[in-house]
Amino acid sequence: MRKVILDVDTGSDDSIALMLAYLSRQLDTLGVTVTWGNNSVEDCVENTLRVLDFMGAKIPVYQGCSAPIVRTLDEKRLAQNPGNAIWFEEDGVRYTIHPKVLPLPDAVSKKEEKHACSYLVETLMNSKEKVTLIPVGPPTNIGMAFRMEPRIKDHVEEVVFMGGSVGMGNVTPTAEANFLHDPEAVKIILNSGVKVRIVSLNATSSAPLSMEMADEFADLNTKYGKFAHDIIKLRAKVSKHLGWTDGSAEAIHDALAVATLLDPSVILESKRYATDIICGNDPLDGTLVVKEDETSPVEIVLKADARKYFTLLKKAFENE
């Protein structure tokens, strides 16, 4: 089994990613590190613990960075960053893509005392086998770990991001949220020379899950299928209200990064690029700069198979 560490900012799609990674029984999840992003790092830790407790997963959780490496030190860049706290109110109920608290029982398990970045460095340096890192939020913890100890590169099998985009964006016209929130962290990782797979916004947007698929999750009559159904329907409701989609299908971004490890054939199109990212007080802040290069260690996934993705999720949610 491939050894992995997930790095999350647990909101709605992170919860599906955690469930797929654990319930697939195909990955050896050594730990989960938590960063800021969809909500505060403290709220993201609570949500992470709730999801793991929900599954009965005895996986250690480490709280990490509460802010990006550089970005929020620059007031102009901070003002340009709308964040992810987007919501609307209907009949006195507030709806958001990423609930501050997931609709699961309060966490019983506790986070570990060690900081996430220290955990990453120590675990990787001491591992006899290479470990795959899966950052599906702003990659602040991973970038800081590479800064703290560059030698961890030699102990990393691959970094599999959910983030970035080529020629599109979801916060600005050219930048995806996770990479925009901490482009300096992305740059540190890209410059390390480590093997990288970027499961881009292009790919996740190409493989949305329909509401009929969500209903099939509920029809499994498992608690996991029901939870996934509810989360997908919530996201679709908010997306439709805000005019992002027509509500008939919803991209579940983060879990697709996990899916590409479980079944690489879910990838329909990918290319190798020499890759950089724009940082600083620039209108293109957070934008990936790419040039096709078959020798590059960076693979960017551009298109995915929604049906195969759905099948992987459904199989995982069948477990009770």
Residue pair 44/37 in contact (Cβ under 8 Å)? The answer is yes
Task: Single out the residue of 161, 142, 164, 163 nearest to residue 153, CA to CA.
Answer: 142
Q: What is the pLDDT of residues 254-274, one digit of tens each?
A: 999 999 999 999 999 999 999
Residue pair 156/133 in contact (Cβ under 8 Å)? The answer is yes
Residue ranges and CATH numbers for the domains of the chain are 2-317 (3.90.245.10)
Q: What is the pLDDT of residues 20-35, one digit of tens each?
A: 999 999 999 999 999 9
User: What integer is the mean pLDDT of 96-111?
Assistant: 93
Tally of CA atoms within 13 A in the half-sphere of 315 that contains its CB = 13
pLDDT at 242: 86
Q: Going by DSSP bridges, is the β-strand pair 2-8/156-162 parallel, antiparallel, or unpaired? A: unpaired
Q: What is the pLDDT of residues 229-250, one digit of tens each?
A: 999 999 999 999 888 999 999 9
Q: What is the pLDDT of residues 114-135, one digit of tens each?
A: 999 999 999 999 999 999 999 9
pLDDT-derived band at 253 (thresholds 50, 70, 90) equals very high
| Burial of 91: CB neighbours in 10 Å, binned 0-12, 13-18, 19+ | exposed
pTM metric for this prediction: 0.95
User: What integer is the mean pLDDT of 56-82?
Assistant: 85
pLDDT-derived band at 80 (thresholds 50, 70, 90) equals low
